[in-house]
């Protein structure tokens, strides 16, 4: 039987561990998404279409999704902490190398490598939180992890936009990599050792059995599907809103467009707040509310007013990060064993959605512009709501 975490909210140990988890997710998402506001720049400089330019993000997400499965398996032998520390340090160095890409092909190869090394943190951090934190504090702890992703993603995108306008995209990526490297030192020093982790030797057969067990669970598979659809929707919105706002009639500069990512602050607020609500009122109820908020925000971006578009993006972001925070904690609660594998499967679907849906929507943009993108996003959210109804049905009679 797995032991229950003892790090409780309100203690010094909670804020130390929570701060380290926040820093780790900050590094991961700053490094992963720093190229997103640069997609129009890459299209112009390397003479590629929006769909091809989006590969700078999609290849990282795709390989990250696959490699997380290996990272989760290796962590059972090598430990969570060691792999997470290696991940944040090496990924920061790769971002710095990316700044020196001589052509688009090299850029794609380095972004692929970025996905490989980043894989060592996300699924393991979720497993670490599930193992080390008290169940009554799990929602807030996962909220801290998700809020780190919002702040990191916001920093990477805003810094990339501003520094590209002032200097160049190469300078921007180099600075982001250096900041991430400094944060990696803090992560290494602050992250407590695992005290409730009990590893075992790596077995491919046992790993496949564990993955198969989780995939056969209707309720877990539905949560995985929600992660796929919601993340795909979120990345799609921010992949192509840059083309909308830097083109006619808005014609925002890279700096002005970069500041739109300040709406990620809404995600920081919602991930912690909705995590608390989930601990109090139940995860499935709060998850449904989050998806309704997402859909409302997406529809608002169809307005011709720049102010309303930004408000819509903020509402959409609030709903997404709140939903992701709740879904993440739901995985940790539902998986009674092999939590690292369950978390990595959730994130496999999550980042697969980022890669596949994010790129496919490039076709929607090319054919029908912004209305086509929002149509695809709205359809994905509605399908997620259907999966949530299945979760409620499967969990009837159980505490969520």
Segment 15-39, tens digit of pLDDT: 888 889 999 999 999 999 999 999 9
Domain assignment of residue 101, yes or no:
yes
How high is the pLDDT of residue 202?
Answer: 57
In a domain, 197, yes or no: no
* Residue tagged 């990512």 (tokens): 261
What CATH number should be reported for the domain holding residue 216?
1.20.1250.20
pLDDT of res. 34? 94
Q: How many CB atoms lie within 10 A of CB 360?
A: 15
Whole-number pLDDT of residue 340: 65
Residue 160, pLDDT > 90, answer yes
pTM for this structure?
A: 0.78
Q: How many domains is the chain partitioned into structurally?
A: 1
Q: What is the pLDDT of residue 399?
A: 47
Does residue 93 or residue 254 have the better pLDDT? Answer: 93
- The answer to whether position 299 is within a domain reads yes
- DSSP assignment of 80-142, as one string? HHHHHHHHHHHHHHHHHHHTT-SSHHHHHHHHHHHHHHHTTSHHHHHHHHHHHB-GGGHHHHH
- The pLDDT, as a whole number, for residue 1 is 42
State the pLDDT confidence band at 200, using cuts at 50, 70 and 90. Answer: low
For residue 228, name the pLDDT band (cuts at 50, 70, 90): very high
Share above pLDDT 70 across residues of the chain, in percent, rounded to a whole number: 92
Find out whether 229 and 136 touch, Cβ atoms under 8 Å: no
**Could you tell me how far CA 385 lies from the centroid of its own chain?**
20
Q: How far is CA 394 from CA 160, 224, 290, 336, in A?
A: 44, 14, 20, 16
| Choice between 372 and 334, residue whose per-residue pLDDT is larger | 372
Enclosing domain of residue 35: 12-190+202-394
Q: What is the mean pLDDT of residues 305-334?
A: 89
Answer whether residue 4 is part of any domain.
no
pLDDT, tens digit (0-9, with 9 covering 90-100), for 96-150: 999 999 999 999 999 999 999 999 888 788 778 877 787 777 777 877 887 888 7
Q: Which two tokens stand for residue 31?
A: 């490094």
Lowest mean pLDDT among 204-208, 345-349, 394-398: 394-398
Res 196: pLDDT? 62
Q: What is the pLDDT of residue 339?
A: 67
The predicted-structure confidence for 333-368, as pLDDT tens digits, reads as follows: 777 666 667 877 888 898 889 888 988 888 899 899
Q: What is the distance in angstroms between the CA of the first residue and the CA of the last residue of the chain?
A: 20
- For residue 3, pLDDT over 70 is answered with no
Q: Is residue 139 part of a domain?
A: yes
- CA 60 – CA 147 distance, rounded (Å): 21
Any domain includes 400: no
Region 163-191: mean pLDDT is: 94
In this prediction, residue 203 carries a pLDDT of: 64
Q: Is residue 2 part of a domain?
A: no
Instruction: Choose among 84, 83, 109: nearest CA to 97.
Output: 109
pLDDT higher than 70, residue 5 = no
Give the confidence band of 155 by pLDDT, cuts at 50, 70, 90. Answer: very high
In-domain check, residue 140: yes
Average pLDDT of span 242-255: 90
């Amino acid at each position: 039987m797995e032991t229950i975490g003892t790090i409780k909210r309100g203690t010094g140990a909670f804020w130390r561990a929570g701060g380290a988890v926040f820093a780790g997710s900050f590094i991961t998402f700053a490094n992963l998404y720093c190229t997103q506001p640069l997609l129009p720049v890459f299209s112009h400089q390397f003479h590629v279409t929006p769909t091809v330019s989006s590969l700078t993000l999609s290849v990282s997400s795709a390989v990250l999704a696959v490699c997380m499965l290996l990272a989760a398996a290796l962590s059972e032998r090598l430990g969570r902490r060691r792999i997470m520390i290696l991940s944040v340090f090496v990924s920061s160095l790769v971002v710095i190398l990316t700044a020196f890409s001589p052509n688009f092909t090299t850029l794609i190869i380095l972004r692929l490598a970025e996905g490989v090394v980043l894989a060592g943190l996300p699924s393991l951090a979720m497993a670490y939180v599930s193992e080390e934190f008290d169940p009554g504090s799990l929602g807030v702890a996962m909220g801290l992890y998700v809020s780190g992703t919002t702040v990191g993603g916001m920093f990477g995108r805003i810094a990339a936009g501003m520094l590209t306008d002032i200097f160049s995209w190469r300078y921007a990526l180099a600075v982001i990599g250096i900041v991430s490297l400094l944060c990696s030192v803090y992560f290494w020093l602050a992250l407590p050792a695992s005290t409730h982790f009990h590893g075992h030797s790596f077995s491919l057969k046992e790993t496949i059995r564990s993955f198969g067990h989780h995939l056969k669970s209707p309720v877990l598979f539905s949560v995985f599907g929600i992660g796929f659809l919601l993340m795909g929707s979120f990345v799609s919105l921010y992949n192509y809103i840059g083309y909308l706002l830097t083109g006619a009639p808005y014609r925002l500069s890279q700096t002005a467009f970069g500041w739109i990512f300040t709406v990620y602050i809404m995600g920081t607020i919602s991930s912690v707040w909705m995590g608390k609500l989930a601990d109090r009122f139940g995860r499935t109820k709060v998850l449904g509310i989050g998806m309704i908020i997402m859909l409302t925000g997406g529809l608002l971006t169809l307005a011709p007013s720049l102010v309303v578009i930004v408000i819509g993006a903020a509402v959409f972001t609030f709903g997404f990060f709140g939903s992701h925070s709740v879904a993440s904690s739901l995985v940790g609660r539902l998986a009674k064993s092999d939590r690292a594998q369950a978390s990595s499967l959730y994130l496999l679907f999550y980042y697969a959605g980022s890669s596949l849906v994010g790129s496919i929507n490039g076709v929607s943009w090319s054919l029908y512009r912004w209305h086509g993108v929002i149509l695809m996003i709205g359809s994905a959210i509605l399908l997620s709501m259907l999966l949530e109804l299945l979760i409620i049905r499967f969990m009837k009679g159980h505490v969520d």
